[in-house]
Amino acid sequence: MLSKPVWAIANRVSSGLTPLRSNPEFWLNGTIPWLKTEQLGEKLIYSTTEKISEVALRKTSIKVYPPNTLSIAMYGEGKTRGNVSIIKSKMATNQACCNIELDPELADFEYVYYFLKTQYNELRNLSSGVRKNLNSDDIKNFVIRLPKNLTEQKKIVGALSALDAKIDCNKRINFELEAMAKALFDYWFVQFDFPDSDGKPYKSSGGKMVYNTLLKRDIPQNWAATPLSSITPVSNESLNPADFPDRLFKHFSIPVFDVVKTYGVELGQSIGSNKFTVLGADLLVSKLNPWSNRVVYAMDEADQICSTEFVVWRSSSENLKNFLFLIATSQQFISHCVQSASGTSNSHKRVNPSVMMRFELPYEEKVAAEFGKVINPILKKLIVNQRENQYLSQLRDWLLPMLMNGQVMVV
């Protein structure tokens, strides 16, 4: 293994720039992707949420970085600082991103990315000042350990990137599956074109609609405005895993309060506080930070528990559970929860479970059950992919430090 500072294996190490927000010509009709630290953390970044104009490029000293540049977050509250990603298209960044353009004859960009992933805490510990920020010099002088030749670097990358490629594939499949499920939900419960008794779309085929004063909209005849509390009960059954040392409780669903849906696994002996028990027919809906859309779909497994930050919807059947999953992930339900959330700060706002369960929706039990049956294979595949990604991520993160330290060799 060689040990070299970043500057010794890079063609350029520099930070970005933010064009003046007060100058509209820098931002209007932007075509150049402009990266901020909040996006860093995923392995590959192809696009950005904001773009700057060609005028900004001409009139400021902002730089455009080539594909395969590594970008590290130097600033950021919480977990942001120290996150690293690979830029996969030409883009500029803000001043909080330190960008490393590696010399391809000295270091493989993916190898250095994976190495820096193992150094997250070490990078954060370099922070200085009141706000605990990194600076470009810290990163330029940060030591990278790497095999003597590129062939060895690429072998290690091959093992790790194969796992990441499968994770990425599953994510893309799930994106399409979610879109398909939401489109069907919209067709049945927003447009009300569910199959009628003749298999024809209800509303489009002349099905009778009546105005509902509570929902302030037309809904199908014989449907009702129904609160969630009348459709599914909430379970508060709880236990402390420490009181049951003979049970592993290894399937522990944990909330992660961001936009990424996840399923966590934690060994029971490491848990020392009360948790809700979870059955296979349950949906776990987060009451903390309700805008994060945190919903976990329980599976038929033994000894499942979850954080008490969830509200446990205990549905009577799998088909109803599938219907409720689409309700819990709908924008209307999320808006209801966000409007009624309270707390000292945005990161600690919660929705009261009783308020959550007052959400009113147009409902007819047989149609809901039939919808749940139709989307069952879609949701099952989506959940299986989520679980597989969790296990693949754990395998990758287990292998990563051993490959970087030379404890495990790739042949």
pLDDT digits (tens, 9 = 90+) for 360-369: 999 999 999 9
Expressed as residue numbers, the domain containing 113 is 2-146
User: Which residues are registered as beta bridge partners of 278?
Assistant: 304
Q: Can you give the pLDDT at residue 348?
A: 72
Q: What mean pLDDT is predicted for residues 400-404?
A: 89
Whether residues 137 and 205 fall in one domain: no
Q: Can you give the pLDDT at residue 411?
A: 72
Which of these, 124, 114, 148, lies nearest to 3 by C-alpha position? 148
Q: What mean pLDDT is predicted for residues 60-79?
A: 91
Instruction: Tell me which of 42-51, 74-83, 114-123 is least confident.
Output: 74-83
Whether residues 213 and 350 fall in one domain: yes
Q: Has residue 53 been placed in a domain?
A: yes
Whether residues 102 and 11 fall in one domain: yes
pLDDT tier at 371 (50, 70, 90 boundaries)? very high
Q: Has residue 166 been placed in a domain?
A: no
* CATH number of the domain to which 71 belongs: 3.90.220.20
Q: Has residue 126 been placed in a domain?
A: yes
Judged against a pLDDT cut of 70, whether residue 334 lies above it is answered with yes
Whether residues 200 and 90 fall in one domain: no
Judged against a pLDDT cut of 50, whether residue 406 lies above it is answered with yes
Judged against a pLDDT cut of 90, whether residue 387 lies above it is answered with no
Instruction: Tell me which of 43-47, 200-204, 406-410 is least confident.
Output: 406-410
Out of 146, 164, 183, a domain closes at: 146
Whether residues 241 and 328 fall in one domain: yes
pLDDT digits (tens, 9 = 90+) for 235-269: 999 988 888 877 777 666 655 443 334 455 566 66
Whether residues 202 and 128 fall in one domain: no
Q: Has residue 406 been placed in a domain?
A: no
Q: Has residue 405 been placed in a domain?
A: no
Q: Has residue 378 been placed in a domain?
A: no
Q: Can you give the pLDDT at residue 61?
A: 93
DSSP states of 170-188: HHHHHHHHHHHHHHHHHHH
Distance CA 295, CA 293 (A): 6
Whether residues 135 and 19 fall in one domain: yes
β pairing state of 84-87 and 44-45:
parallel
Q: Has residue 167 been placed in a domain?
A: no
Give 257-263's long-range contacts (Cβ < 8 A, gap of 24+).
Answer: 257/286, 257/288, 257/289, 257/292, 257/294, 257/347, 258/292, 259/292, 259/293, 261/293, 261/294, 261/295, 261/296, 261/386, 262/386, 262/390, 263/296, 263/386, 263/387, 263/390
pLDDT digits (tens, 9 = 90+) for 151-203: 999 999 999 999 999 999 999 999 999 999 999 999 999 999 999 999 999 99
Q: What mean pLDDT is predicted for residues 295-320?
A: 86
The whole-chain average pLDDT of the chain stands at 89
> Percent of the chain at pLDDT above 90?
66
Whether residues 131 and 205 fall in one domain: no
Q: Bigger pLDDT: 323 or 342?
A: 323
Out of 131, 146, 161, a domain closes at: 146
Whether residues 303 and 222 fall in one domain: yes
Q: Can you give the pLDDT at residue 260?
A: 38
Q: What mean pLDDT is predicted for residues 123-131?
A: 77
Q: Has residue 379 been placed in a domain?
A: no
Q: Can you give the pLDDT at residue 258?
A: 37
Q: Can you give the pLDDT at residue 365?
A: 95
Which of these, 288, 307, 292, 295, lies nearest to 345 by C-alpha position? 288
- Number of domains forming the structure of the chain: 2
Q: Can you give the pLDDT at residue 261?
A: 43
Whether residues 107 and 227 fall in one domain: no
Q: What mean pLDDT is predicted for residues 378-405?
A: 90
Whether residues 200 and 109 fall in one domain: no
Q: What mean pLDDT is predicted for residues 91-100?
A: 95
Whether residues 221 and 338 fall in one domain: yes
